[in-house]
Each structure stands twice: as structure tokens, then as C-alpha cells.
Chains A and B, each alone.
Chain A
């Protein structure tokens, strides 16, 4: 079975600071894709960043970057210069063999 685990139900950070959200996954396949999605309060889920498992280089999208450790099956998200608009539920997800499975989510609070 394919599982995705987010061990931090809630995180908080001061505005302009950096925060890292953790994610581990379990799959026996070599071909898979990893994602971080964001679900703001009462709004639609949107993609934050994606990583192909065959790529060693960590993905970066502006203030968002990942630390992909394939051997450890770890896929953490770093948010730099946190902004009030970053407050949301963040979900780690793994796509393998057409199944897109999500972790439990981490609620991120930004303190002004």
C-alpha cells in the first residue's frame, strides 16, 4: 500500500520567518511523483510545488522549496519569508500508478 505521513498536525511561524513542514512517504515503486498542495480556509486546493522522483535536484518555486531525500523517503517543504497569505492547510501527496494519495495535512498559522 502507498502511504503518506505528515507528523505535524499544526505549525506556526512568525511573519517573515522560515518554516519547514515534514512529510514521509512509503512506496515500493521507483517511478512516482511528489507534490505539496495548499488549501486556504474555505477555498480550493491548489498546487504549491512538485518533484519528480527521478530528479535529484530539489524543486524550487519562489519562496517555496523542497528537501527531497529519496533514500529516506522524505519530502519536506520549506517556506521562506512567510506571509500572512501562506496561512492554510498544507498537504503532501504522492502519485504512483494513477493513484494520488495525500497525507493527513498540516495546519500552518502565520503570526503577525
Chain B
């Protein structure tokens, strides 16, 4: 079983609130990813990191921000949540080598009311 954890699993929050979705892995992986999964199940890459102090935006524009201060931790923050942010957020990590698999967390289902 993969050692990558996301908290919370479910979150219902009001519009305008600041939220942080947590993602931690204990495998020492350099690469970490955040995906937004829409109701149709399509996965959109919103942020990725290939090491401490490196973060990059993905293909889907997102109002969220990320940080990578420690190898094992890759939190995602929304400064002011809106109903359009309602979605499933998946975190993943992998080793540096190209052909290694990515391990996924169980996801955070966010609902903004």
C-alpha cells in the first residue's frame, strides 16, 4: 500500500474561506503532483514539483497555490474558496526516474457552498 496521505478526505466550506489541503508522503519521493478531478472523472494537472523549493503550474489554470518546503509535504492552498472550486483533488508522488510509477493518495473531496 502506498505511503501517501491526504487530509481531509472530505471538506465542506463556505465561500470566501481560506483552505489548505494537505498531502504527505513517506517514501522520499522527489516528484509530487496535484490533480483536479472533475465529475466526469477527467484528471487535470494543476501543480507539480520535482524537489524542495521547486513548484510549477500544470496545464489547468488554477487559483490555488502550492509550496514544497520539505520533501515529504506538498500542501495546496486556496486563499478564497468559491463554488467553482468544488471538486475532487488528488495528490501523487513518484521517484525521480522516468519510468517509475506514481502513487496516489485517496483524494480530498471539496465542496464550497
Contact = CB atoms under 8 A, between A and B. Distances in A.
Interface of A: 1-2, 31-33, 35, 37, 39, 44-47, 50, 52, 89, 91, 95, 98-102, 104-105, 107
Contacts of B43: 91, 102, 105
Per DSSP, chain A at the interface is: strand
A35 B101 contact: yes
Interface residues of B, number: 25
Interface of B: 2, 31, 33, 35, 40-43, 45, 48, 50, 56, 58-59, 90, 92, 94, 98-99, 101-102, 104-107
A45 B104 contact: yes
Contacts of B2: 44
Contact of B99 (A37, A44, A52): A52
Nearest to B49: A98
A55 to B, nearest CB: 9
